[in-house]
Amino acid sequence: MSICLLERSRASCWVRRLSQEKRSLQSSARPSCWKARLSEVALVTSTGGPDDQPRLGPKAAEDDLTGKGPRRRGLSLRVMLPNIVTAAALCSGLTGIRFAIAGEWNFAIMAVILAGILDGVDGRIARLLNAQSRFGAEMDSLADSLSFGMAPALILYMWSLQDLPRIGWFASLAFAICCALRLARFNAQIDTDEQPHKSAGFLTGVPAPVGAGLAFLPFYLWKTTDLEVFREPIYVAIWLTVIAFLMISNMATLSWGSIRPRRSVRLELIAFGGLMFAALLLEPWWTLVGICVVYLALMPYALARYGKVKRQRREDAARG
């Protein structure tokens, strides 16, 4: 019995010794592999692979939406805010159609104007927050097509053009289609390096929000003068068609973002902006008429100024 116990104790000692030697061999043979693996994991975690590495600039917002880049607990409000403003602009423009159906013309026009203000804000918010993305650009164009193409066309049709059904509907369709074509051209050229107008600080054609505002000029005049001539469907149809072709034209128009006034007039400009806001509150229709007239008067100036830029470029190319 004692011999059996002795043999068992020896066997257990040998088993423990063998297991200890095995663990020591494994620990001595693999530290370099473990270190290499740990360094590899640390590198991937810190920098990411070519597909998982976070991007900067306009593409960073796309990573937030698609889930690329470092794992986050949720979407950042920084990414969503510009698109929320764009959605609000879309809702405002479409609500203008609802007001037009009810015959509330003042609210219908103001809803589209509010959409234009929001449209001017969303892009600046995106650039300020570094939240630019391809998704935002596409959504903005779709919203603009509805708010500044379809909504003004339907509002003007219900206000005046339905009294001349065929020609009036043709003019409404022309305006909506030209607005969509302009926005499609803008999206197609968004990544194009060679844009002569943009490089010189100009736009190509009348922008969609400005086109919507100009299309309502007969309504502004009708509200301010009470003259029914401004509601004549034939005149409204001609005017709407003219604005439609101005939107898809290749003429250079002023870009307000490229205007850099002198520092010496900054106080005057601040005062002028405040007075314009007050005028919109007190006499909105007359103020809108004045804005449209000033913009139309500046169009020949923009053409002359861009012609000067083109001549300067040709002279520089000839010298070079």
Is 62 part of any domain? Answer: no
Structure tokens at 55: 């991007």
Q: Are 141 and 186 in contact (CB under 8 A)?
A: yes
- Phi first, then psi: what are they for 311, rounded to 5°? -65, -40
Within a domain: 143: yes
The per-residue pLDDT for range 50-106, each reduced to its tens digit, is 444 444 344 444 444 454 555 556 667 778 899 999 999 999 999 999 999 999 999
Report d(CA 172, CA 240) in Å as an integer. 7
CA dist., res. 148 & res. 160, Å (int): 18
Instruction: Look at residue 224 and tell me if it is in a domain.
Output: yes
pTM of the model as a whole:
0.74
Residue 119 resides in a domain? yes
Is the residue at 154 inside a domain? yes
- Compare 311 and 237 and report the one with higher pLDDT: 237
Range of the domain at 286: 74-319
User: Is the Cβ–Cβ distance between 80 and 61 less than 8 Å?
Assistant: no
Number of domains in the chain: 1
Scanning the chain, the segments in alpha helix (DSSP H) are 2-29, 31-47, 60-66, 77-101, 105-128, 134-145, 151-159, 165-188, 196-199, 208-215, 217-225, 233-248, 266-282, 284-319
| 46 part of a folded domain | no
CATH code of the domain in which 201 resides: 1.20.120.1760
Residue 157 lies in a domain: yes
Structural domain contains residue 2: no
Q: What is the pLDDT of residues 34-55, one digit of tens each?
A: 444 445 444 444 444 444 444 4
CB-count burial class (<10 Å; 0-12, 13-18, 19+) for 196: middle
Q: What is the pLDDT of residues 221-253, one digit of tens each?
A: 999 999 999 999 999 999 999 999 999 998 888
Q: Judge residue 80's burial from the number of C-beta atoms within 10 Å of its C-beta, 0-12 exposed, 13-18 middle, 19 or more buried.
A: middle
The Cα 62–Cα 27 span in angstroms is 45
